[in-house]
Chains A and B, each alone.
Chain A
């Protein structure tokens, strides 16, 4: 990577242009009334095409992607993004479709939705899917709207609470709050699973349902899921499945068979579409036949969801096919367990046993004590990894541990890559024991060192003109 310090505005010169438009052959239309006109032209950059290309190429050189190297970011499923997906979604016959064209003009697109609906229903054991949600959190919100609609349609209006485990993704309680539901937290046991005994008294007639991910955010399978489903259903509630952790379940376990009524999938995780630096994603929501009765009452995005992402995911499903689906799930679990076993002598493993696609360490074994300022923290380990050319794992999540380091390798990494990562993680653990300051001052080899985030928040500089 090479440090490059320009903003596009700093390349601007009066009189340069980067566009090419046809000569206007229409008669001139009337000007807008003066009181409706903008007073002065927007201060957008004036740059030539080659300058634009070089600028953004230079910016890209300061980025790390899955195509750059190993990206073991827990809960994010940073698997390889196949290139054929990009080719097919850009076809003009798809990219040029107007969203309000009636079905008689868009039969190819309709077939894609039909085929995706059938495939996802089969993979998850759901009855049907809606494709409107544009991301995972958007799917959660949509799913909870469907949960509330299900109860409302039955005239059961007092169900305004939703149970969320303390290990849940931050979006779960936030989605519930946005949906107008009150969050009731259920604790985890020492073994990382939901405390079923603690759950029982929470299941009142005010509970709309429970949000779970299985395996949970510790990468552990909720082994009492069938009993939980029976209890929740017995109390009149529904089960929502957060599909962020669906990857290890592919070809082995279906949320529908575990008793879930509503779920979302992250096509940008499980189904290989690129994360794009934070979107576009796609969070289709699956549901039972009963829940689907409320679907027509809900409109959560402008048109048909992120069609371009759905096309990519369909190409992936066609490539994996029924032959390789189980391999995807199993290899993701194999790689996670292998890393865990190879590192658990130098990183604290709070809960023993087989994990699924990811697992959580609670910092270094030899950390000098978490409260000891001389010791290296999870943040320091993460920053040191950047020096060695790896992306860091997810850090300080889940909130159950103080030094969470959450590792998810996915099925698309070779054993050689994984072994190299293990070697570096061990080396960092050794460095932490010898000279923790080496970690605390990391990264050393990146284009910038640790930034001053406090000043950034206290005196926000949020646009180019604030910098002048």
Chain B
């Protein structure tokens, strides 16, 4: 029975079997012990035609709610220029493997080089890798990189103001890798330098991880952090929203050694959580400890500019059990997505995205407070597109009420707050409609 993805005809199969010298396809498995062979039929769905697959997915899609999103917490509903899916769908990009054969992979290698350049520029650091799985895993790898870089120091201090999903993944990796985590509790919605200094004094600290913009949406002031941390020979790791880095002080400016984060806010669809793309950038002196692929520029034999995977002595396929990271495939196509996004937006576009989002968020913040149904949690703390409030109405009830009105908003947090986010995709009319729905309860 033919299938559109399987070109073998019965005549092909006969000819190939004859060349091999076996009688049947089953004979190709003659070395497999009887006890391993699957005897019965597989309880799987019957094969569908293409139109049936389309119909099936249309039905599944219809079971998902279509709401206006006013929540961030690690996934942001920013606008995606039409050009991006069009270009990233090009067969030559999407159906290629990792660029092992550089002579026929210059397209991939060039965009990765551009991507590394843009991430280095946004973070203000020297070198970026070709990508990580997502922000949380990039943070976990950064924690492991700290203990691999700073000898005999197994501890990493982690701010409790990091996003919850980042903390959860960092904790998992640390547990198995033998990294001793100390969580630094928040003080007034930000990371207290005093508590970090006290822990540094205790010794054994290889790194300190703090967010640039934190789980409450607050832009953290890291004045004095790098000096205190470097005085103890530890590394400063900053977890960043790369979109916000167009306007907020960069890891480079704060004196950080490593910057990590998730590229999702750079125009990637929310897509229920993935695929996203983690990024990592470091100061030059840490380059050879950085995990992941790195692309470099060189010349070919004729003197033409060429790009290659480089510094591969760091990687798992060379170092095997001595490697400090096992990352192999990463999120290359999503790195291309980010590269095209940043090419289109440029410095002005990214600034404007931040301006509209921040203006929208502050407008929503003030309008919500004006309803009298909320209390401020961190008054006066600077924020951009995301913030938390305390709801006088039961948080779960508020959230569900807003869902019925067509909004995904007021996400209840672990601390008992409700979290909101506004991006440039939300118009003033959208925000007014949300506020009206809040008032109706």
Contacts and interface: CB of A to CB of B under 8 A. Distances in A.
A35 B221 contact: yes
Contact of B321 (A173, A319, A386): A173
Interface string B45-57: 1111010111011
B362 interface: yes
B368 to A, nearest CB: 14
B300 A49 contact: no
A5 B63 CA distance: 47
B346 A47 contact: yes
A351 interface: no
A280 B331 contact: yes
B410 to A, nearest CB: 12
Nearest to A50: B83
Given A36-B221, A415-B16, A137 B102 contact: no
A94 B64 contact: yes
A26 B356 contact: yes
B360 to A, nearest CB: 5
A104 B133 CA distance: 28
B42 A251 contact: yes
A213 B371 CA distance: 61
Given A44-B118, A141-B326, A462-B294, A95 B300 contact: no
Interface stretch (A81-89, A284-292, A365-373, A423-431): A81-89
A276 B310 contact: no
Contacts of A327: 1, 3, 6, 8
Interface in B1-50: 1, 3-9, 12-13, 15-17, 19-22, 25, 27-33, 35-38, 41-48, 50
B439 interface: no
How many of chain A's residues touch chain B, expressed as a range? 35 or more
Nearest to B213: A36
A183 B4 CA distance: 44
Contact of A322 (B45, B77, B250): B45
Contacts, number: 683
Contacts of B318: 170
A98 B410 CA distance: 13
Interface residues of B, number: 207
Interface string A11-45: 00000111111101111111011011111011111
A401 interface: no
A231 interface: no
Contacts of B165: 299, 302-303
B369 interface: no
Contacts of A467: 297
A97 to B, nearest CB: 4
A22 B427 contact: yes
Given A278-B97, A337-B28, A253 B37 contact: yes
B363 A27 contact: yes
Interface stretch (A196-204, A233-241, A448-456): A448-456
B274 A450 contact: no
Interface in A356-406: 356, 382-383, 386, 391-392, 394, 397
Given A138-B327, A279-B329, 16 more contacts: A37-B247, A42-B121, A57-B87, A64-B101, A92-B61, A105-B403, A140-B326, A144-B176, A170-B328, A173-B316, A276-B96, A305-B273, A333-B29, A354-B31, A462-B116, A462-B296
